[in-house]
Amino acid sequence: MGEKQMEESIDTWVMAGTEQMSRTKIMQSSANNIPANIGRYFKLKGPNYLIPTACAAGNYAIGYGFDFIKRSDLDYALVGGADAFSRLAFTGFQRVHAMASEKCKPFDKNRKGMLVGAGAAILFIESLDSALQRKATIYAEVPGYGISCDAYHMTASKVEGIEKAMDKAIKYSRVQKEEVDYINAHGTGTQGNDKTECAAIKRVFKERYKSIPVSSIKSMLGHPMGAASAIEALTCCLTVKENIIPPTINFETPDPECDIDCVPNKAKVKKVNIALNNGFAFGGNNSCLVIKKFQD
């Protein structure tokens, strides 16, 4: 709802001037209407937040819900992200030359950029006691997460900021780097982002980096902005449950600066106990969520 009202307001601004813009429509474009309406519709009580960290928002939301549950402030929470296709986003990324003309090719030497997508993913997270009591199907565990905000650049990522988020996630979750079986990359398909993310992975995992599958589902779904890391967190849950690693499609030419195992073009069947979900956003809002196989 919000983006539609915002785009209509901008159309009015361009065609008729600011005096003709509707105050009501501007008020309706407030992004926090989304979780507020969800809470109202389902009659949910308790904390209700929208965390505006763009492409990393899903990870931030899951981490925030995790904190509430770990402190015993909540038994369960609905967390995730949603974003609709927007002319504003499409035009904006086109203007900064971050869009591919045909297809998204993460980690490929000849990658030309991202493609704007849309979507949503909502996860139900709860304490283990709550899940066991109601005999729920448990897809995965969240042992921890890591975030950093390096404020390095409005659009460019910084190796040290990404490295810090990944290191914090691993340390907080009390897992060993040798235990990480899969990384769901932020992997936008832009020259700078993919190069920087690969450099950070190399710094975190040292000589082991080539043996860890690292794939980008944005090659298949496009970049759904605020929904991205939530959809990718859901992907990680299914990966550790089913032991199937999704591929990076459209991969043709290896890039020496991105010499990771990007799971090119075909899914890989492999036991995955620990997965990392990377999500990086404008302004240096970096996040890394750890997803662990549930051992019943």
User: Among all residues, which ones are annotated catalytic?
Assistant: 55, 186, 223
SS3 category, 280: strand
Q: Which two tokens stand for residue 212?
A: 């860890």
Choose among 31, 29, 57: nearest CA to 123: 57
C-alpha span between 262 and 290 (Å, rounded): 19
Q: Helices 57-70 and 228-242 meet at what angle, rounded to 10?
A: 70
SS3 category, 235: helix
| Distance, first Cα to last Cα, the chain | 41
C-alpha span between 125 and 46 (Å, rounded): 14
C-alpha span between 206 and 217 (Å, rounded): 24
C-alpha span between 143 and 38 (Å, rounded): 27
Cα atoms found within 13 Å of the Cα of residue 56, Cβ hemisphere only: 24
Choose among 192, 231, 23, 21: nearest CA to 98: 192
SS3 category, 81: strand
